[in-house]
Every structure is written in structure tokens, then in C-alpha cells.
Chain A
Amino acid sequence: MDQRNFEYMFYGLAAAWTILCLYALLLTSRGRKIQSEIDHLKRMLDSSPKK
């Protein structure tokens, strides 16, 4: 491969993958947060006295 401007090519590819990975991590962390909230609410509803 032609090595001219290799540095900028690396920056470009690294930026693209970084954004994708950050978004995937964001989705994962939101998923965990929502799941723990669902578990918490279900526990709360199960333990509350029925009217």
C-alpha cells in the first residue's frame, strides 16, 4: 500500500470505529439500566399490598 498520508487514513478509520463502538456501548449500558429498573419496579409491585 502507498504509505503517503497513512496517518490521516488511520485517524479516519479509528474515528469511524470509535463512534460505532461508543454507540454500541451506549446501547448496552442503556439496556442494563432499563432492565435493572424493570426488575426493581416488578419487585416493588410484587411486594406491595394488593388493593
Chain B
Amino acid sequence: MRDKLIYGAGIFAALYFVRNLYVILLQLPDEAMQGAVYRIFFFHLPPYFTAVACFLGAAIASGLYLKTKNWKYDVFAVSATEVGLALAAINLVTGMIWGRQQWGIWWTWDARLTSALITWLIYLGYLMLREGIKDPSERAKNSAVLSIFAFFAVYFTYKANEWYRTQHPGPVLTIRTGKNTIDPAMQAMLFHNLGAFLLLAVVLVAVRMNLENSQRAVESLRRRAHAIA
């Protein structure tokens, strides 16, 4: 039943993306200055917010793991972190491609870009830390502490272009600026693609959790095999 739900949600997410791509490429109005390249924005901002949701979920689950020592929170934390890392990679790469066209450079060490890269590296470090610790309870405890502290980097990245002068563009969504700084159709499309990315993230986290549970089954079978040998 759970697998059927995951497949169903996956198919729904794929159809949602097809619909969104149709609107993004064929129906949305053009941006006056940038030409077609502004459409990268729909694959830059939604993955970022989805990654933030994943990292927040991982931090909360990590806190719950430390409190309850229940494995399911550790399984959720590692799964959400890994999916968040993939989405944050999309955010970084699409931003670089847009920057190359608009600024003439692939990268600049301003506060927003640098903190986004450091945040990505911290979460990559989280996964490496887990690989490096063999004892499951030590691994879960140490990575939970790191996950909670790593979320401060996510918040810093979010606020970086308010706290510092950055080359990265400022906020454009009406909920942040309080003004109509973006065409309503473009803003609606951003939220639609955010919905599609969130749904996709739910599917990927569920699949990754299945893998993590299977991996734990492997570890338990290995222990039994060692005990017999």
C-alpha cells in the first residue's frame, strides 16, 4: 500500500512538472531585459525552498532522535538531508548558469553565494560523517547534532542578502517585499513549481527511507552471519 502511494505521488509529480513546463515555456509572458534565460528562475528558487524544507525536516527529526532515540527519526533525517543536498545542487548549478549569462561570470564570492556553497558542503560533510562512523547509535547521535547546527547555515544563507551587500538579486516575491515586484503569472508559476518540487521531494525521501531501512536489514543480517561464522 505504501509503495503504491509512493508510485502514485511520483506519477502525479511528473504530470505536474509536464504541465508546469508547458506553462513556463509556452504561456508565461517574457521578461523585458533578460529574454528566455529568466525562465531558469523556476528551476532555481523552488529547488532552494524545497531543499530548505528538507534541511528543516532533518533538523527537527534529529532533535526528536536525540530526545527519543527512535531510529525512524534518524532514518528520516538522513533521507531528507540527502534529497535536500541534490536539490541544493540544482539551485547552485542553475544559479551559476544564469550568472554566466547575466553577469558574465560563473561565480562570485559574495555573501549569498558563498554561504550557499558552504551550507552545501556542510551537508555533504554530514553524509561523509555518517559513512565514517560504524557504530549505528554513535553515528545517529553525532550526525543529529551536526544536522541541528547545520541549519544555522541555512538561515544565514537565507538572510545573507539582507545582512550584506551582495551581487545576488534581492527578494522578489510579494510575501517578502510587500510590493508587486513580479508579474502575478510568474509568481503563481513559482508557487506551482514549488508544489511540484515539494511533491517530488516527498517521493524521493520516501524512496530513500525504504533504502535506509533495507540497509539496516543488511547490517542486521551481516551481524547474524558473523555470529554463525
Contact = CB atoms under 8 A, between A and B. Distances in A.
A27 B207 contact: yes
B211 A1 contact: no
A34 B215 contact: yes
A5 B204 contact: no
Given A1-B25, A51-B228, A13 B40 contact: yes
A27 B204 contact: yes
B90 A19 contact: yes
B148 to A, nearest CB: 25
For chain B, give the interface size range: 35 or more
Nearest to B213: A34
Contact of A6 (B35, B100, B207, B221): B35
Interface string A20-44: 1001100100110011011001101
B214 interface: yes
Contact of A8 (B97, B221, B224): B97
A34 B225 contact: no
Interface in B201-229: 204, 207-208, 210-211, 214-215, 217-218, 221-222, 224-225, 228
A27 B40 contact: no
B40 A12 contact: yes
A20 B30 CA distance: 26
A21 to B, nearest CB: 11
17 contacts: A1-B25, A2-B31, A3-B36, A4-B34, A4-B35, A6-B36, A8-B36, A9-B36, A12-B97, A15-B93, A16-B94, A19-B93, A31-B210, A34-B211, A38-B214, A45-B225, A51-B228
